[in-house]
Amino acid sequence: MSICFLGEPLLRFSTTNCKLLKDSINFNLSVGGTELNVAANISNLAAKPCADFYTVLPKNLLGEIVKRHCFKNRVNLIEGKQTSERMGLYFLEPKQGNKMGNVVFDRKNSAFAQSQATDYEIESKKYKIFHTSGIAIGTNPPTILNLVSYFFKNVNSDLYSFDCNYRSSMWSAQEAFASYQKLLTTAKINILFANSWDICQILKLTNLNIDINDKNQFAELCKLIFKKYKSLKYIICTKRNFKSNTETFGYQAMYFDGKDVYESSERYVATIIDRIGCGDAFVAGVLFKLLENSSIKEAVEYGLCCSWLKHSIYGDTLNLLQAEIEPYLEFDNSKLVNR
């Protein structure tokens, strides 16, 4: 069985040589977009096509770049009817030293953002998992909320997965989480990628003092949201435990299964090559293992390992085979050389 995705591909333009975005004339180009990143990561881990990616592309050379990216990464691209010639873009100024990174989106009125349910023909085959995210909805709410709801209703799948993935540069928290509330009410979402802050926004508990790393607080909030949305099976998140006076941080994952919270082992991140796509690598690792019928505990540990490795890989995708992940599962051998 395979996994079904709905989302918007993006072209990423990254500044070079530590230059500021406003001073740059040369950029590195790569293909991204959160749902496509997850789809590509899973197909690469499997070393075979196992991901169907529904989207709409402009019929020009920018769309051709995405098609070639999908082909290279074993992703089965299923295009809806094209009504706009725009490709979604974003510009990245990476974090440098003490200066924060900066992302500028240019995706308004893109081909995907203008698409509607009538533009797609959903295949009748059975999927193991259907997955999308809040970033897809944020491209053009409520139009894409209706589209996402249509896919949740009409895709034949064993499990339905949603990643909140809120981005303040796209829309307000009030608008985003109102959309998530509607989706959770109407769609049978089983796997929710969300931290304590996300859950508070969904439940409108905005007056609480939130510590997204607090395991006990996460457990109590998960119990509340499970009572309201009966289809939920798992809520999953990652957390970073920063060490004092250093950028090194401990990296962990947590999940709630309706009864208890499980906390993963801790991995340490000292050097970051590229932050983009680390969350997508985590989601991909979790869903890939669930596709293989692994336990949720195994899936979360595997997802954390994938995300941890992604910090050391440039680009939007993890681009590793399962055999390349396995040496890192039991211990940190990042200082060793594979001979």
For each of the domains in the chain, give its residue range(s) and CATH number, in order of start: 3-328 (3.40.1190.20)
Are 314 and 274 in contact, with CB atoms under 8 Å apart?
Answer: yes
Copy the structure tokens of residue 74.
Answer: 């074993």
CA-based nearest residue to 220, from 230, 207, 231, 208: 208
Cβ pair 274, 318 in contact under 8 A: no
Q: Nearest 10 degrees: CA dihedral of 33, 37, 38, 43? A: 140
pLDDT at 336: 46
The CA distance from 257 to 243, in Å, is: 29
Structure tokens at 146: 């209706």
Predicted local distance difference test score (pLDDT) of residue 254: 97
Specify the amino acid at residue 35: E
What pLDDT shows up at residue 242? 78
Whole-Å CA distances, 282 to 51, 98, 165, 253? 16, 26, 12, 9
Rg (the chain; Cα; Å): 19
**The whole model's pTM is what?**
0.93
pLDDT of residue 208: 78
Longest pairwise C-alpha distance within the chain: 54
- Each residue's pLDDT, cut to its tens digit, for the chain (339 residues) gives 899 999 999 999 999 888 888 889 999 999 999 999 999 999 999 999 999 999 999 999 999 999 999 999 999 999 999 878 899 999 999 887 778 888 889 999 999 999 999 999 998 899 999 999 999 999 999 999 999 999 999 999 999 999 999 999 899 999 999 999 999 999 999 999 999 999 999 999 977 788 888 999 999 999 999 999 999 999 999 998 876 556 678 899 999 999 999 999 999 888 888 889 999 999 999 999 999 999 999 999 999 999 999 999 998 999 999 999 999 998 654 444 444
The CA distances from residue 183 to 56, 95, 165, 211, 286, in Å, are: 22, 34, 14, 26, 22
Q: How far is CA 20 from CA 92, 102, 103, 105, 314, in A?
A: 10, 9, 11, 16, 19
Tell me what pLDDT residue 246 has: 61
For the chain, the straight-line distance linking the first and the last C-alpha, in angstroms and rounded, comes to: 35
Instruction: Report the candidate in 87, 147, 86, 156 with the shortest Cα–Cα distance to residue 120.
Output: 147
Q: Dihedral through CA 126, CA 180, CA 76, CA 124, nearest 10?
A: 30
- Please list, in sequence order, all residues whose beta carbon lies within 8 angstroms of the beta carbon of residue 234, skipping any fewer than 6 positions away: 190, 191, 192, 255, 256, 257, 296
Please give the pLDDT value at position 1: 82
